[in-house]
Structure 1
Amino acid sequence: MSDNIDTRVTPSFHPDTVQALDGYDDDSASILAGVQSAFTEAYIGVGRVHDAREAAKTNPTWNEAQQVIATQDLADKLTTQLAKRFDSATANLTRVVEGLERDLSQPLEGRGVGAMSGEIRSYVHSLPEGQRMGFIQKAIEAGDERTVGACIGGPAYLCGITPEMQTMLLRLYHEKTNPRAAKQLRAAKAGLELLGERAPLLFKEMEKGVGAPATKVQQLRAAKAKAEKSFIA
């Protein structure tokens, strides 16, 4: 859709903005497909309201008030549909984030057993407090599964680190060993943030498309309803 630019619609809704998110690539495109679809529909939907406004002006039987009301009717219908699409995309992406968070926080059960593991933990515990985290981090970077398993596959206090430190190290380990999931999580979180930022723009963009503020439309509708009562037999 890169070549289809509608200057009447905010570029904030252009679906290509999704591709600029941190972590977006072939591995995460499917995860962000719902976000991109919602943005595409919003971009096209706002454009349709602008088109309807111009088309209304060509109806010789409608005055300006009728044109505004008819355009607003379409905007209301599309806004309801698009709000549901944004809500659905947000809910789906939230589930994806929760699943990836679980995957990247799985404990290393059974990795910290055996005499060698005990010796490794004793060694780490004997290190100065300020060096323990760094030692384990280097083991993670080096892919030293034996050392990593011994240090974060058992109780944290055996290595002289806190549970919070161990949780941080566990996440580093999973991100190192499963970079695809880590990248997908970054992309999913970025997608959620984007949805939260851009979804509220829908109402303002629809108002621009209608060409009249909501208060004026309400007044016109009220006046129309009052006038029509006179024609009820």
Structure 2
Amino acid sequence: MENANVDTRVSPGLHPDNVKQIDGYDDDTAPLLGTTLTAFSTAYEGIRAVHDAREKAKTNPTWNEAQQIIHTDDFAQKHLARISKGFDSVRATLEKQIAHFETELATPLESRASVGISGEIRKYVKDMTTEERHKFIQQAIDEGDAVSVSAVLGAPAYLSGLTADFQRTYTRYWNERSAPETARKLKAVQGAKAMIEERAGLVFKELEKAVGAAPHKAQALRKAKTEAEQAFVLKDIG
């Protein structure tokens, strides 16, 4: 983090620079995480603004401590609404992106060899022991053997002696190896979603600290103020 942008009054866990530390963040994935960075920046700067407002409230000679809390809490609630909306919106977008990349990495394969060759490969694999079969497929994936991999994974699983679950798993491995950019993007948006889910809750405590009182105390003070002001309302006599 850049020291110039760090405010010791705010939790470092909410600093937007944390987004740049997400596994998979680089020049290619940065655009995908731009809104996540903005959401954390909105939270960080919002909490900082409430701290500043609290300090300014203390300089108002006409406000006692209760009034300072009430006015600062009013300001904090406005920021909370903006911050919450931002995190909710970004999280929804990330979920859509995750679903999109997951679908791409789960796309079934199509055989790249002739029907005859593909059939021979599947028979060869099916005649293996379970251990040999999995070792063969994993090695084919590691070596980038598209002909063998597509022959086994591009047809009904049972033709190669596989279960549907294992076929899906191996398809995912192959697609990740064949499309590392997509796999990296998926990892990045998953990391961003996890960061929001883990840290967005810090906002409530941070705003409470900035206001100088818990929300229920501010609400009680606000209620007492309203009730007291009722005594100064002119009432019709008649």
> Please, what TM-score do these two structures have when normalized by structure 2?
0.95
Q: Deviations over 1:78-110 (max 9, x none)?
A: 000110000001001111000000111111135
5 Å-filtered alignment, 1:159-174, equals: 159-174=160-175
> Please, what TM-score do these two structures have when normalized by structure 1?
0.97
Paired residue type of 1:116: I
Distance 1:112 1:50 in 2: 66
Paired residue type of 1:136: I
Distance 1:112 1:200 in 2: 53
- Which residue matches 2:124? 123
Distance 1:129 1:188 in 2: 36
Paired residue type of 1:64: E
- Which residue matches 2:218? 217
- Which residue matches 2:83? 82
Paired residue type of 2:157: A
Paired residue type of 2:129: P
The total of aligned residue pairs comes to: 233
- Which residue matches 1:93? 94
Q: Equivalent residue of 2:77, what SS? A: helix
Is contact 2:50-2:210 (8 Å) kept?
yes
> Can you give the 5+ residue segments of structure 1 that lack an aligned partner in the other structure?
none
Q: CA deviation at 1:215?
A: 2.2
Is 1:230–2:231 an aligned residue pair?
Answer: yes
- Which residue matches 1:180? 181
Paired residue type of 2:170: L
Paired residue type of 2:2: S
- Which residue matches 1:208? 209
Q: Deviations over 1:185-214 (max 9, x none)?
A: 111111111110111111111000001112
Q: Deviations over 1:153-175 (max 9, x none)?
A: 00111111111110000000100
Q: Equivalent residue of 1:32, what SS? A: helix
- Which residue matches 2:134? 133
Distance 2:220 2:108 in 1: 61
Is 1:106–2:107 an aligned residue pair?
Answer: yes
Is 1:145–2:149 an aligned residue pair?
Answer: no
Q: CA deviation at 1:2?
A: 2.1
Q: Equivalent residue of 2:229, what SS? A: helix
**Bigger Cα displacement from structure 2, 108-117 vs 129-138:** 108-117
5 Å-filtered alignment, 1:32-71, equals: 32-71=33-72
Distance 2:170 2:135 in 1: 10
Distance 2:113 2:32 in 1: 34
Q: Deviations over 1:53-87 (max 9, x none)?
A: 00000111111111110100000000001100000
> Can you give the 5+ residue segments of structure 2 that lack an aligned partner in the other structure?
none
- Which residue matches 1:196? 197
Is contact 2:10-2:47 (8 Å) kept?
yes
Distance 1:21 1:202 in 2: 20
User: What's the C-alpha RMSD, in Å, of the aligned pairs?
Assistant: 1.2
Paired residue type of 2:31: S
Is contact 1:125-1:160 (8 Å) kept?
yes
Is contact 2:111-2:151 (8 Å) kept?
no
Distance 1:157 1:174 in 2: 21
